[in-house]
Amino acid sequence: MHQTVTTPEADPKAAKKQRARRRKQIIWGVAGFFVLWLIVSIALSKREKPIPVTTEKAVRRTIVQTVSATGKVQPETEVKISPEVAGEITELPVTDGLSVKKGDLLLRIKPDSYKALLEQQEAAISTAKATNLQQKATMLKTEQDLKRADDMFAKKAISIQEYNAAQAAADVAKNTYESSIHEIERAQAASSQARDQLSKTTIYSPLDGTVTLLNSKLGERLVATGQFAGTEVMRVADLSKMQAVIDVNENDVPNVKVGDKANVKIDAYGDRKFKGTVAQIGNTGKTTGSGTQEEVTNFEVKINLERADVLLRPGLSCTADIETNIVKDAVAVPMQAVTIRTGESN
């Protein structure tokens, strides 16, 4: 018996179905491979990238611990010039940046009213002295009258009332004379004060230095220092001795002490370092941003700078690195050669 077998090649419909199944298998295979690749890629991306390290030999060297802070350059000595008497500026021979010597004239205030007051007080002294002479003569006369009254009363030549009157006149004259002496002293004190006021209309430089700030102009009327802050006319500073005034955080200030060496970078001079020494550490902290997350407490630290070959102007911004601890002959390696590995045992 003969049997006929039909193959896919011989049957076009079967062959078409078989090709369709193969395409689906290929598509699903590609899709599965892509999903698997995506999952692996995401997992690998979440892994921490290894930190590149370098190898270095451990060597002995000097290690310096520092505290860094920013601030401003200021003169060690700076004097604010404010008048002690009020009035109009009639002379102002200085300009901002001018070098002055101790005793040089800085400004003069119109003295007319103060001269008049002094003359008035001098006249009061003359009047008080003249009155004193008169009272002295009166006192001497009443003393003589009292002495005669004494003798006459002893001889019963006058009554007790007449004697008492002589005694009272002598007492009054003496008291009046003593009051006239006090009046002279008061007039002299007032004259001395007026003379002092007049002398304060002329202000001289208290030191050799430079006019670092000039706030007033010729003809301006000034307010005297007293119960209220007077007019700050100018500032005179010794620019040969400068210091860096920096704000050190409260967490770092316990490590800083007077005498610590420091390297100061001044923004205007790039990477150049100026050497200095800590001269003063503030006792009271300055808090900013109170009651907020930005609240910070700093302490003012003053670093005396060594004399430089360049002019350091007040107000220049600076950054100071204070050497707070020095360890010599310590075993050390660069930070980039140090790694920390967990989960390993010796």
- pLDDT score of 1: 46
pTM of the complete model beyond 0.85: no
Q: What residue type is 62 in one-letter code?
A: T
Write the DSSP string, 298-336: EEEEEEEEPP-SSPPPTT-EEEEEEEEEEEEEEEE--GG
Considering all CA atoms of the chain, what is the largest pairwise distance in Å, rounded to the nearest integer? 202
- Cα separation, 246 vs 167, in Å, equals 78
Q: What is the pLDDT of residue 2?
A: 47
Query: Under a CB-based contact definition with an 8 Å cutoff, are residues 169 and 142 in contact?
Result: yes
Tell me the backbone φ, ψ of residue 74, rounded to 5 degrees. Answer: -140, 155
Per-residue pLDDT of the chain (346 residues; tens, 9 = 90+): 444 444 545 566 666 667 777 777 777 777 777 777 777 777 766 665 566 666 777 777 778 889 999 999 999 999 999 999 999 999 999 999 999 999 999 999 999 999 999 999 999 999 999 999 999 999 999 999 999 999 998 988 889 999 999 999 999 999 999 999 999 999 999 999 999 999 999 999 999 999 999 999 999 999 988 757 789 999 999 999 999 999 999 999 999 999 999 999 999 999 999 999 999 999 999 998 888 888 999 999 999 999 888 889 999 999 999 999 888 767 767 766 666 666 555 4
Task: State the DSSP string of 24-75.
Answer: HHHHHHHHHHHHHHHHHHHHHHHSPPPPP------EEEEEEEEEEEEEEEEE
Residue from 64, 70, 74 nearest 260 by CA: 64
- 149 close to 162: Cβ distance less than 8 angstroms: yes
Side chain identity at residue 227, one-letter code = Q
